[in-house]
Structure 1
Amino acid sequence: MFTTYNEALDWIHGRLRLGIKPGLKRMEWMMERLGSPEKQIKAVHIGGTNGKGSTVTFLRSILQEAGYTVGTFTSPYIEHFNERISINGKPISDKDLLDLTNLIVPLADELEETELGGPSEFEVITAMSFYYFANNPKVDIVLYEVGLGGRFDSTNIIKPLASVITNIGLDHTSILGDTYEKIAFEKAGIIKEAIPIFTAVKHPGAIKVIEEQADKMNAPLYRLGQDLKISGHQSVTRGEVFSLQTTTETLEQLEITMIGQHQTENASLAISAAQYLNKQGLFKISEQAIRSGLTHAYWPGRFEILSENPLVIIDGAHNDEGITTLVNELSSRYSDRNIHIIFAALKDKTYDKMIAKLDNVADQIVFVNFDFPRAANAEDFMNISQSPNKVAVDDWKSYLPEEIHHLQSDSMLVVTGSLYFISEVKPVLCQILKNKTISL
């Protein structure tokens, strides 16, 4: 038995040595031993390549504005590990996480002795979340973000009220497959019998796979661009404005404070899921709750402006599609700025394509190392980059204060790449910016 939060956290992180272990048998084994908590919660299941966390946030905010208590299970975290299991945006307490760890440890040890093998870090955390939410009478609904893929993801033991697939991109190809169709097949694994599915997938091959799976499962399918249509989109200083037409109504002049056209798509999926829950009489959600929820929705690390002067932005663009979106936003919003980029990524990403796109928009690009088992080396980035103004930095913590200090009024700093890197760099950046403000 662990007696401190740090001991519990060390044990959880120690499960990383087991790597990624697709499959549901270990989860089913643990759930049976815990009294099947996954069957005791009302949930919405959200998968896709990018935009899962933002969609969770929009839907959570809408449901909260409607007066409900909402659990969320997301990954990875940005500022604090406990964020991954939250209620109304408030992370689980250290004590509750310690108690849950002590509950799971004996099961993990017992499972280790079976032919199934011990549970991975993600399986452990997922099991904790099911037990935690099922045994909290205040929680009305839980939004579960898929960790990896869908079909064999640890979260895929739930039978949700509705499911969402945000989009499909070529990410985690060594595990999910190297084509849009193969990845779509894995993502479509969250589609359940007769449970509606809302999607923003556009790739012709990928959407065909999803359509076939939805048809096979007799699941109503609602497609962005076909059943759900965005119009009148305008980018504003601190967000986006757009209208959404669904199969039954049109909502005019919706406002979100998360930046990027892609966020209008994530918001539209959340709105459509909320309208479905309302129409089915599962939850009472007014148009005002939708509008208010959208404006209050905040998700850290996604084109997040940390400072206006100097202009500093962090964005967890951790794959090719994410970088494409980031570059588009920088080109359209900040074409008059001198753009300085700091980038770090994991080894399993197609970072050659990512770097090529960053090279096109960056006036200066800095590649850094960071402390994570799967982190790629900055020198490898240097060898790929064609930028005339590039540098590799080993100690980014020492580099950041100098970079910010010398940032000119016509320049901006963008820190991007792995979400694991963003989670490390954000608190450091915030402290540097705070100290700069105090010294002025």
Structure 2
Amino acid sequence: MDNNERGASAPLTSYAEAVDWINGLIPFGIRPGLERIEALMEAFGHPHRRLKFVHVAGTNGKGSTCAFLTSALIHNGYDVGTFTSPYITKFTNRFQYNGRDIPDETLLELANRLRPAVEKIAQTELGSPTMFEVSTALAILYYAEVCYPDVVIWETGLGGRMDVTNIVNPVLSIITNVGHDHMDILGDTLEKIAAEKAGIIKPGVPVVTSVSQPEVLRVIKDTAELRKSTCYAAGERFSYEKTSTGESGQSLHFKGPFRDFDLSLSLRGEYQLENAAGAFMALEVLRQYMAFQLEDEKTAAGFEEAFWAGRMELVSERPRILMDGAHNPEGAAALAQSLQSGWTYDRLVLMMGMLSTKSHEDYFKSILPLVDELIITEPDFRKKMNASSLAEIAEGLRAEYAKPNLRITVQPDWQTALAEFRSSIGSEDLGVVSGTLYLISDVRAQLLHQADSEKGW
């Protein structure tokens, strides 16, 4: 046996080695389909069948919705697993149990259990499982064989129908909203994207959705009808009214099929009202039909204390710096709306960087009218958008959308850009860092002095 063969199955010896091995599968890309994850689950006796899942899909708002659900259920005494992506600070963020990351040594142990099965499947016509498939399998093993949560809040990776996470049969499905993202993979119309998201709807399993476009809602309701699933749609079965908003938080009045309820949120951003209403509707379904024991006071406290990094997060008071991972047209529109409704400032200084796979013109159309100074940089990531190309798009829209004195700076090195950004923010100004989460992750780590930050999808 040569060294290569011996090395292929030698045990991984550290957390860093385990993460490197999983991330080393990234070149296998995003390959929609469930065959490889099914083969992996079969190798371990289908452990996912022993778990209770709430499956969350959508273009924006998935992570925040998961945060609301997790916090409310933990406050009510439930043990909760939460599987999300991408992560902001560390690879272990994606596998949480009661709000805490999987321990490094547990991740190492599970990676060593998975590795032989992964290598075996890689030798078949299915090809190697991808990074996300292995991460999903690791999450299932963690929840089914290590910590045994009462319920797992389960976020899709991309789309829904052919997403790896769709191997589960949940007790409830949630589709937050549908917008223009990942169109290269999910389809070039909202209806096509909606059909992919609606793929998480399972026979007889209720679905809660906050989608607003009539043509999108039609796709979701038709799918639900076909699968004999009850559909709780915003604007039809439930609604909400904003009751207050400000820099420190906001509140809403929820109206649902079973009752009304008042919620306060510390999460900023007008779009969080929609996410909170959808999450509360989901909890109402669990309470009414699935015997979940939820106390009003504890549920309200869970919503108020819910936190989600990198979403309208105030990371610095002097100067005021907000971080918001808006990276698609709908995200930019939501950010612009939030800045106009809850914030006061003299000048708005925006630092941003994007991936090359996104639609950027519509992003700029939403945000440019508010910006006094724009600093364009590049995330430290292989699919980054060239800063000067991004600046060209902004320049092309300047005449129609920008303020007359808009200043645009191009600084490809994000650390230099950050220094310029910080020095540009006056005492009465507001600084906003936006764009891809790969940039948000790095900038956030630097501003909050997190030495061990990692980042990734």
Place the TM-score, normalised by the shorter chain, in its bin.
over 0.9
CA–CA distance in structure 2, aligned partners of residues 155 and 233 of structure 1: 36
Q: What secondary structure does 2:82 align onto?
A: strand
CA–CA distance in structure 2, aligned partners of residues 149 and 309 of structure 1: 39
Asked if the contact 1:355/1:381 (under 8 Å) is kept, the reply is no
Alignment partner, residue 327 of structure 1: 336
Asked if the contact 1:164/1:197 (under 8 Å) is kept, the reply is yes
Corresponding residue to 2:115 among 100, 105, 108: 105
Corresponding position: 1:283 with 2:292: yes
Asked if the contact 2:92/2:104 (under 8 Å) is kept, the reply is yes
Alignment partner, residue 179 of structure 2: 169
Q: Which moved further from structure 2: 403-412 or 152-161?
A: 403-412
CA–CA distance in structure 2, aligned partners of residues 339 and 265 of structure 1: 25
Q: Give the letter for the 2:107 counterpart.
A: L
CA–CA distance in structure 2, aligned partners of residues 354 and 193 of structure 1: 37
- Give me the identity figure in percent: 38
Alignment partner, residue 433 of structure 2: 415
Corresponding position: 1:274 with 2:280: no
Corresponding position: 1:362 with 2:371: yes
Q: In the comparison of the two structures, how many residue pairs are matched?
A: 431
CA–CA distance in structure 2, aligned partners of residues 358 and 281 of structure 1: 42
Q: What secondary structure does 2:166 align onto?
A: coil
Alignment partner, residue 396 of structure 1: 414
Alignment partner, residue 449 of structure 2: 431
Q: CA deviation at 1:307?
A: 1.6
CA–CA distance in structure 2, aligned partners of residues 121 and 389 of structure 1: 41
CA–CA distance in structure 1, aligned partners of residues 258 and 342 of structure 2: 34
Asked if the contact 2:245/2:341 (under 8 Å) is kept, the reply is no
Alignment partner, residue 40 of structure 1: 50
Q: Structure 2: where are the runs of 5+ without partners?
A: 1-10, 399-405, 451-457
CA–CA distance in structure 2, aligned partners of residues 395 and 113 of structure 1: 41
CA deviation profile, 1:71-121 (whole Å, cap 9, x unmatched): 000000011111000111111111111111111111111111111111111
- Spell out the pairing of 1:377-396 with structure 2 (5 A cutoff): 377-386=386-395, 387=398, 388-396=406-414
Corresponding residue to 1:311 among 320, 332, 337: 320
- Spell out the pairing of 1:336-355 with structure 2 (5 A cutoff): 336-355=345-364
Q: 1:232 to 1:376 in 2, by over 3 A?
A: closer
Q: What secondary structure does 1:347 align onto?
A: coil
Q: 1:189 to 1:281 in 2, by over 3 A?
A: closer
Corresponding position: 1:298 with 2:326: no
Q: What secondary structure does 1:35 align onto?
A: coil
Q: CA deviation at 1:256?
A: 0.6
Q: Which moved further from structure 2: 376-385 or 181-190?
A: 376-385
Q: CA deviation at 1:63?
A: 0.3
Q: CA deviation at 1:138?
A: 4.3
Q: CA deviation at 1:237?
A: 2.9
Asked if the contact 2:348/2:431 (under 8 Å) is kept, the reply is yes
Alignment partner, residue 89 of structure 2: 79
Corresponding position: 1:152 with 2:162: yes
CA–CA distance in structure 1, aligned partners of residues 290 and 21 of structure 2: 42
Asked if the contact 2:83/2:96 (under 8 Å) is kept, the reply is yes
Q: Give the letter for the 1:385 counterpart.
A: A
Q: Give the letter for the 1:410 counterpart.
A: E
Asked if the contact 1:400/1:429 (under 8 Å) is kept, the reply is no
Q: What secondary structure does 1:318 align onto?
A: coil
Q: Which moved further from structure 2: 347-356 or 148-157?
A: 347-356
Asked if the contact 2:246/2:343 (under 8 Å) is kept, the reply is no
CA deviation profile, 1:246-271 (whole Å, cap 9, x unmatched): 1011113x101111221111111111
- Which runs of structure 1 show a deviation greater than 4 angstroms over 4 or more consecutive aligned residues? none
Corresponding position: 1:251 with 2:277: no
State the TM-score, normalized to the length of structure 1.
0.95
Q: Which moved further from structure 2: 235-244 or 393-402?
A: 393-402
CA deviation profile, 1:31-79 (whole Å, cap 9, x unmatched): 0001101101111000000000000000001100100111000000011
CA–CA distance in structure 2, aligned partners of residues 279 and 316 of structure 1: 34
Q: Which moved further from structure 2: 196-205 or 134-143?
A: 134-143
Q: 1:335 to 1:237 in 2, by over 3 A?
A: closer
Name the Cα RMSD after superposition. 1.4
CA deviation profile, 1:180-234 (whole Å, cap 9, x unmatched): 1000000000000110000000111110000100000000000111111102432
